[in-house]
Homo-oligomer: A and B are copies of this chain.
Amino acid sequence: MKKAVSLKDIANNVGVSTALVSYVLNGKEKEARVSKQMAAKIRRAAKEMNYQPNLIARSLKYGKTKTIGLIVADISNPFFSSIARIIENKAKENGYTVVFGSSDEQLDKSADLLNALINRQVDGLIVTPVENSEEQIREIQEKGIPVVLIDRYFPKLNTNAVFINNYQSAYNATQHLIDNGYKKIGMVAYQSSLEHMKQRVKGYEKCLKDNGINASKDWLLKINYNHTETDFRDSLNAMLEKNTIDSLLFATVSLAVKSLHVINSRKIKIPDDFGLISFDESDAFDFFYSPLTFIKQNLQQLGSQSVQLLIDSINNNTTVIKKIEVPSTLVVRDSSKKK
């Protein structure tokens, strides 16, 4: 890599001090009372020499990198990659660059990534925390590094966070199934201590209860994050085998897509014999023979609010912690409408 031109190179070339060059190139010629001619001369030289400021040096000086660290649970999951796109855009609008990593729902990978990004002096972090990572997040906060949790959060930890009302979303979806004539509603969720997941399950359970429906234990299938494809198929097949449910609520888009394969293979008739609703969207939902009803999170808001919150938190070192609830809506389509 060729050596890049520095302020000093320009200074030498023009025959002035680096201070002058710095002033001019940062538009501070007024305050520094640089002469018009000199300013013009410096600007011209900078252009000719194709000067590019070294942001690393600036960062070292300022103690700010204008960089945001983003850690998602899985960047290849459209839910997260869509958010990543929104975050990157919004960050760029505000002069920030995004450094990212994918924790793959693994605690150790999450720790590694957090460390790597902190050592790189990111000004703040946006994180979808993985299970049991509460302590990691707490440590970051203790170091005084601004952090915003997104999609998920820890109820006992006082952090900035942006998320939907998972409880209510699940409740509404369940109610919608009931209103459409389904009576024995099952749910496929992750086996997780993460609050967003627990809330989704709670909303579902409470709704059944409120409707006087006596749910059986085996209406709820909890899947381990580290399942294999076969594990998954086997347990869902076992659940459906029992024939005790007439509909399903999926807690995530990944669970839904996998489940649809199983449902297809069992030739279950949607929506007449069986109803379906999922959290989040997928192209797959559109082309399933009975397009899926789904809970649409406002990704735009999730992403841009989290950036806004983080930047606020970086600037106002005032430690006002905010929890922001973002809207979600039920998009009703064919899969939940019994004829």
Q: Which residues of A approach B to under 8 Å, CB–CB?
A: 1-2, 4, 52-57, 59-60, 65, 67, 74-78, 81-82, 84-85, 88-89, 92, 97-102, 112-113, 115-121, 123, 143-146, 257, 260-261, 264, 282-284, 286-289, 317
Question: A76 to B84, Cβ gap below 8 A?
Answer: yes
Question: B81 to A78, Cβ gap below 8 A?
Answer: yes
Q: Which residues of the other chain, B, contact A115 by a CB distance below 8 angstroms? A: 52
Question: B121 to A56, Cβ gap below 8 A?
Answer: yes
Instruction: Tell me, in angstroms, the Cα distance from A244 to B288 when the chains sit together.
Output: 29
Query: Nearest chain-B residue to A85 (Cβ)?
Result: B76
Q: Distance (Å) between the CB of A258 and the closest chain B CB?
A: 10
Partner of A119 from B53, B88, B257, B286 at Cβ < 8 Å: B53
Instruction: Tell me, in angstroms, the Cα distance from A101 to B2 when the chains sit together.
Output: 24
Instruction: Tell me, in angstroms, the Cα distance from A119 to B96 when the chains sit together.
Output: 12
Q: Distance (Å) between the CB of A293 and the closest chain B CB?
A: 15
Instruction: Tell me, in angstroms, the Cα distance from A59 to B58 when the chains sit together.
Output: 12
Partner of A54 from B75, B101, B119 at Cβ < 8 Å: B119
CB contact under 8 A between A261 and B284, given known A88-B75, A88-B101, A120-B55: no
Q: Which 8 A-B pairs have the closest CB atoms?
A: A81-B81, A283-B284, A2-B144, A76-B85, A1-B144, A287-B287, A287-B288, A76-B82
Partner of A55 from B98, B121, B146 at Cβ < 8 Å: B121
Partner of A102 from B77, B88, B112, B283 at Cβ < 8 Å: B88
Q: Which residues of the other chain, B, contact A81 by a CB distance below 8 angstroms? A: 75-78, 81, 84
Partner of A89 from B57, B82, B102 at Cβ < 8 Å: B102
Q: Which residues of the other chain, B, contact A85 by a CB distance below 8 angstroms? A: 74-76, 102
Q: Distance (Å) between the CB of A277 and the closest chain B CB?
A: 16
Q: Distance (Å) between the CB of A208 and the closest chain B CB?
A: 29
Question: B143 to A4, Cβ gap below 8 A?
Answer: yes
Partner of A56 from B53, B77, B102, B120 at Cβ < 8 Å: B120
Q: Which residues of the other chain, B, contact A146 by a CB distance below 8 angstroms? A: 1
Q: Which residues of the other chain, B, contact A74 by a CB distance below 8 angstroms? A: 85
Most B C-beta atoms less than 10 A away, residue of A57, A101, A118, A145: A101
Q: Distance (Å) between the CB of A250 and the closest chain B CB?
A: 14
Instruction: Tell me, in angstroms, the Cα distance from A60 to B59 when the chains sit together.
Output: 10
Query: Nearest chain-B residue to A53 (Cβ)?
Result: B119
Question: B97 to A97, Cβ gap below 8 A?
Answer: no
Q: Distance (Å) between the CB of A218 and the closest chain B CB?
A: 27
Instruction: Tell me, in angstroms, the Cα distance from A112 to B96 when the chains sit together.
Output: 12
A-B contact pairs, 29 of them (CB 8 A): A1-B144, A1-B145, A52-B118, A53-B119, A54-B121, A55-B119, A55-B120, A56-B59, A56-B60, A56-B65, A67-B99, A76-B81, A77-B81, A78-B78, A81-B81, A85-B102, A88-B100, A88-B101, A92-B101, A92-B116, A97-B120, A98-B99, A98-B100, A98-B101, A100-B100, A282-B283, A282-B284, A284-B284, A289-B289
Instruction: Tell me, in angstroms, the Cα distance from A87 to B263 when the chains sit together.
Output: 34
Q: Which residues of the other chain, B, contact A282 by a CB distance below 8 angstroms? A: 283-284
